[in-house]
Amino acid sequence: MNKHHAFVAEIKEKTREEILKEKTYRERCIVGYRIEEMEKEYEEARNYKRWDKKRECYVNRKG
């Protein structure tokens, strides 16, 4: 005996709060990625002696 089942996807309307929560999560991810990139750049600058402690900025050795 073969029984066939049909699954129907239910479309759910998102509430304003759900949309804002997703948006803020995505924005936090983007900001987190930018922070990681800045930390990586800072560490590289320190490792290659391009970080000026007094002025707290990068030193461009080439001018």
Cα–Cα distance measured from residue 39 to residue 58, given in angstroms and rounded to the nearest whole number: 13
The answer as to whether 44 is a domain residue is yes
Report field, pTM of the whole predicted structure over 0.95: no
Distance of CA 16 to the CA centre of its chain: 23
SS (H, E, C) the chain: CCCCCCCCCCCCCCCHHHHHHHHHHHHHHHHHHHHHHHHHHHHHHHHCCCEECCCCEECCCCC
pLDDT in tens, 2-60: 566 666 667 778 888 888 888 889 898 999 999 999 888 888 888 877 777 777 676 66
- Provide the domain limits for residue 52: 16-58
Cα–Cα distance measured from residue 20 to residue 60, given in angstroms and rounded to the nearest whole number: 42
The answer as to whether 25 is a domain residue is yes
The answer as to whether 10 is a domain residue is no
The answer as to whether 33 is a domain residue is yes
The answer as to whether 4 is a domain residue is no
The answer as to whether 21 is a domain residue is yes
Specify the number of domains making up the chain.
Answer: 1
